[in-house]
A = this chain, B = another copy of it.
């Protein structure tokens, strides 16, 4: 059993622990807030008359498209790198 997992933590270790928990909790809070903002955007769009289901589909497709484009760029990079080595 080492210092960190034992019940005898140094002050520095305890401080580190406190900081770590604090940072995670803050970040999770921020993440939650952003998720709520996304919801609000959809609610607004719905109120405007958009079909949110279709909207979500569009955004999903665009994400897939980006992923595909990135993949293609990666393939291109690989070829270019291979060419560079010739």
Contacts and interface: CB of A to CB of B under 8 A. Distances in A.
Contact of A68 (B50, B61, B77): B61
A52 B76 CA distance: 12
Interface string A43-83: 01100111100110111111011011001101011111111
Contacts of A30: 34
Interface residues of A, number: 57
A67 to B, nearest CB: 6
Nearest to A35: B31
Contacts of A64: 64, 67-68, 71
Interface of A: 2-7, 9, 14, 16-18, 20-21, 23-25, 27-28, 30-31, 34-35, 37-38, 41-42, 44-45, 48-51, 54-55, 57-62, 64-65, 67-68, 71-72, 74, 76-83, 85-86
